Structure 1
Amino acid sequence: MQSDDTPDAARHDSPAALVRLALALRARELAEAAGGLVSAPAGAPGELAADAARIAADARQVLELAVTVERAQSTTWEALGYALGGISRQAAQDRYGTAVNRWSERALHAWLVPARLADLDIDDPDKAIGRLTQWAQRQATETGPGPADDPVGAVLPLTDTARTLTAVLDAGRLIRARQDAMWARQADGPNERADRQAVAELAELELGYTRRKVELYERMTAQGDREAPLLLAEARARLAELQAQR
């Protein structure tokens, strides 16, 4: 446990890091797919065009993830609009806002519930970083001087107290939004299957949320925050309660 707010360089453990990792994975896939067109043999009529269309769709997803990463870094919509061809702030937000919200929520959910990493096409973050590092180093060998020993880890946001606190607050809002959605749906009439799924998902989210609160308050306690020990005790008690219900 660290006694200051220096990020733990061994951990890229935040929703922002997961989004950046998802971007890196898709960028590598896109690069490999696009490279395949260089020497693609003639196939059935339309096959080459279909391959190119899939690559274009993948490129669109890479762009959405890149915008999501930028927003996580507090890049304004105005700056993004300028970067995306000089469109207005409102046009940029209209074009990409829904995608940013979708990817951000998936990353937050995966941060709380590791089983949801599949929603980002990430199997295991550490293994994914390792594979991407090997790939980036191979590219550097082929193209000349390139990235450092940790080319992928170097671009992923590190975990610190401020980032974790922001993510915990976002997680609380996500859970409240899911609760509101469930109650609104129930007001329209019973749906046993949907209700079971919603309750199970909320239980899963709250367990992950409480675990993350424990981690946050442990860090804050180690840093000497005076209020953190009480918050930590409450979070640990709630975590024990939730685990006993499983």
Structure 2
Amino acid sequence: MRLSVIMPVHNRETFVGAALRSLLRQRDAADLDIIVIDDGSTDGSAQAVRSMMDETPCIRLFQQENAGVTRARNSGLRQLTPETELVSFLDSDDISPAGRFSADVELFRKDAGLELTYSNMMLVDKIDDSALEPAPDSRSITVRGIHLSSAIFSRRLVERIGGFDEDFIQAEDTDYLLRGFEIGPRYVLPDTLALYYRRHAGNMTRQEDVQSREFMRAIYKSMKRRKVDPSLKPIEGIFELKKLADWRFL
């Protein structure tokens, strides 16, 4: 099955190589197609990606003027090939754990009607970029949080959801996931660990005032949609929001 993974990049020269290597080690799990959208980086991010492309043709790099992560994600969706059957995401400072795709892609192979898997994430404050694993002295918490990389979408579900809402500065991923679950896809919640979320000073989510405002706006839009259209499904029992709040200890 062809799995396209969309990776927006903006000034992540330090991290993007490790993120890509974490995907490449899983090439035996699917026909992997890695779509990197360089969103106007001013450091060596694009060159770091290019340095890996000669030996790994499954990486495709597209560059654009800086337009923000939401537009970068939409640019990635526009680069899906006709052969793409599954779609996922990985941010350029995070790590995809070994075995992540072999576990969840197999669920799609066994069930042709499956539209979405949504797995766990680990928030961690130190990652060994050589081992592509949390460092021995790291602090971490595992949770079914709100993150695009926790999901693998069928192509038909992506087409039903549509693009990312470009009104969002942050929480575009929250809005996208809410819209996806609202339309009532056939989904499963595996115990797979889908990503290591790297906590560091450059995380967009460190901008807590912006994050909180945009997150609440995504929740409000979901409530408003479901009030207007009662056929949309409630979002219950999926995200571990109380547990997710504990990430502040990192």
TM over 0.5: no
Question: By percentage of residues, which structure has more helix?
Answer: 1
Q: TM-score by structure 2 length?
A: 0.26
Q: TM-score by structure 1 length?
A: 0.26
